[in-house]
Amino acid sequence: MPKTLLDKIWERHQVGADGSLLYIDLHLVHEVTSPQAFDGLRMHGRTVRRPDRTLATADHNVPTDGTTTTARIRDELSRVQVQTLERNCAEFGIPLYSLGSPRQGIVHVIGPELGLTQPGMTIVCGDSHTATHGALGALAFGIGTSEVEHVLATQCLVQSKPKSMRIRYEGALGFGVTAKDLILATIGQIGVDGAVGHVVEYAGTAIESLSMEQRMTVCNMTIEGGGRAGMIAPDETTFEWIMSPPTRPAAPPAVPDEWHELRSDPDATFDREVVVDAAAVSPMVTWGTNPGMVVSVDGAVPAPSSEQDERALHYMGLEAGTPIEQLRLDRVFIGSCTNGRIGDLRAAASVARGRRVADGVYAMVVPGSAQVKAQAEAEGLDEIFRAAGFDWRGAGCSMCLGMNPDIAASGERVASTSNRNFEGRQGRGARSHLVSPQMAAAAAIAGHFVDIRSWDLDPQQEAAA
Partner 1 sequence: MRAIETITGRVSVLDRDDIDTDQIIPKQFLKRVERTGFGEFLFYDWAREPGWELPKNPVLVAGRNFGCGSSREHAPWALEDYGFQAIIAPSFADIFRNNCTKIGLLPVQLSAEACRAIAEAGECQVDLAGQEVRWPGGAEAFAIDPDTKQRLLNGLDEIGLTLAQSDAIAAYEAAREQSGGWAGPQTTALA
Is 23 or 455 the residue whose CB approaches partner 1 more closely? 23
Residue 223 binds to partner 1 (criterion: CB under 8 A): yes
CA–CA separation, 357 and 352 (whole Å):
8
- How many C-beta neighbours within 10 Å does residue 40 have? 17
What's the burial of 153, exposed, middle or buried (CB within 10 Å: 0-12/13-18/19+)?
middle
Residue 338 binds to partner 1 (criterion: CB under 8 A): no
CB 16 to partner 1: min, Å: 4
Residue 188 binds to partner 1 (criterion: CB under 8 A): no
Residue 290 binds to partner 1 (criterion: CB under 8 A): yes
Nearest Cα neighbor of 309 from 300, 320, 299 is 320
- Binding pattern for the stretch 298-327 against partner 1, x by CB under 8 A and - elsewhere: ---------xx--x----------------
8, 393, 420, 433: which one binds partner 1 (CB under 8 A): 420
134, 162, 394, 437: which one binds partner 1 (CB under 8 A): 162
Nearest Cα neighbor of 399 from 325, 331, 312, 324 is 331
Q: Assign residue 10 a region: left if phi > 0, alpha if psi is -120 to 50, beta otherwise?
A: alpha
101, 145, 205, 350: which one binds partner 1 (CB under 8 A): 145
CA–CA separation, 287 and 432 (whole Å):
8
Asked if 152 and 54 count as a contact pair (C-beta separation under 8 A), the reply is: yes
Is 193 or 377 the residue whose CB approaches partner 1 more closely? 193
11, 91, 193, 240: which one binds partner 1 (CB under 8 A): 193
Residue 350 binds to partner 1 (criterion: CB under 8 A): no
In the chain the first and final C-alpha atoms are separated, in Å, by 61
2, 11, 72, 158: which one binds partner 1 (CB under 8 A): 158
7, 49, 168, 325: which one binds partner 1 (CB under 8 A): 49
Pairing of strands 272-277, 284-286: unpaired
Residue 201 binds to partner 1 (criterion: CB under 8 A): no
Residue 374 binds to partner 1 (criterion: CB under 8 A): no
Residue 277 binds to partner 1 (criterion: CB under 8 A): no
Residue 387 binds to partner 1 (criterion: CB under 8 A): no
Residue 256 binds to partner 1 (criterion: CB under 8 A): yes
Residue 401 binds to partner 1 (criterion: CB under 8 A): yes
**SS3 category, 150:** helix
CA–CA separation, 45 and 55 (whole Å):
21
Cis check for the bond before 246: say yes or no (omega within 30 of 0). Answer: yes
Which span (135-143, 268-276, 322-330, 446-454) binds partner 1, by CB under 8 A?
135-143
Is 257 or 267 the residue whose CB approaches partner 1 more closely? 257
The CA-based diameter of the chain, rounded to the nearest angstrom, is 72
Is 224 or 382 the residue whose CB approaches partner 1 more closely? 224
Residues 6+ away with beta carbon under 8 Å from 277: 169, 170, 171
Residue 36 binds to partner 1 (criterion: CB under 8 A): yes
**CA dihedral defined by 20, 24, 30, 31, rounded to 10 degrees?**
50
CB 377 to partner 1: min, Å: 23
Residue 423 binds to partner 1 (criterion: CB under 8 A): yes
CA distances in angstroms from 30 to 60, 107, 152, 344, listed in the order given: 8, 7, 13, 23
Residue 153 binds to partner 1 (criterion: CB under 8 A): yes
Q: Judged by CB under 8 A, how many residues of this single chain contact partner 1?
A: 84
Which span (121-129, 212-220, 374-382, 447-455) binds partner 1, by CB under 8 A?
121-129
Residue 144 binds to partner 1 (criterion: CB under 8 A): yes
Under rule CB under 8 A, which residues in 61-120 are in contact with partner 1? 61, 75, 77-78, 80-81, 84, 94-95, 114-116, 118
In one-letter notation, the amino acid at residue 368 is: G
Is 278 or 414 the residue whose CB approaches partner 1 more closely? 414
CA–CA separation, 443 and 343 (whole Å):
19
Q: How many residues does the chain have?
A: 465
